[in-house]
């Protein structure tokens, strides 16, 4: 059974930082591209950051320079370090595991940026 379990969300003030984690099980983690997506109320789910199995990264323009995605294949975990958070970063953040044949989602973790 495949599981992607996100953690690390919460309430933070503008300008603050959070680190999201996504622990994967039931997959050969190292061969999957891993990503973070987010969905704000009334909006579509959008890509935030992706890290390929080779370690290449891609970011949404809105988070470049503020967010960093990384992975630890030994721990089957992908991280999203979020700095200089803005109210517009408020959303449910979802972890994604993607390969040529398979695609999986986590249950999501809420991030709220507010004073």
27-60 pLDDT, tens per residue? 999 999 999 999 999 999 999 999 999 999 999 9
Cβ atoms < 10 Å from Cβ of 95: 26
> Residue 61's pLDDT is what?
98
* pLDDT band (50, 70, 90) for residue 86: very high
Q: Confidence band (pLDDT; 50, 70, 90) for 21?
A: very high
Question: What local confidence, expressed as pLDDT, does residue 64 receive?
Answer: 98
Q: What band does 19 get if pLDDT is binned at 50, 70 and 90?
A: very high
Q: How far is 62 from 29, CA to CA, in rounded Å?
A: 27
CA distance 78 to 22: 5
Q: How confident is the model at residue 18 (pLDDT cuts 50, 70, 90)?
A: very high
CA distance 102 to 32: 9
């Amino acid at each position: 059974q495949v599981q992607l379990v996100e953690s690390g969300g919460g309430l933070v003030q503008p300008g603050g930082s959070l680190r999201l984690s996504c622990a994967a099980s039931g997959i050969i983690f190292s061969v999957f591209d891993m990503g973070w997506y987010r969905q704000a109320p009334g909006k579509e789910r959008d890509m935030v950051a992706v890290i390929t199995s080779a370690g290449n990264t891609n970011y949404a323009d809105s988070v470049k320079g503020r967010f960093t995605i990384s992975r630890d294949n030994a721990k089957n975990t992908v991280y999203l370090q979020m700095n200089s958070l803005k109210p517009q970063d408020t959303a449910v953040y979802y972890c994604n595991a993607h390969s040529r044949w398979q695609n999986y989602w986590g249950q999501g973790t809420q991030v709220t940026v507010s004073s």
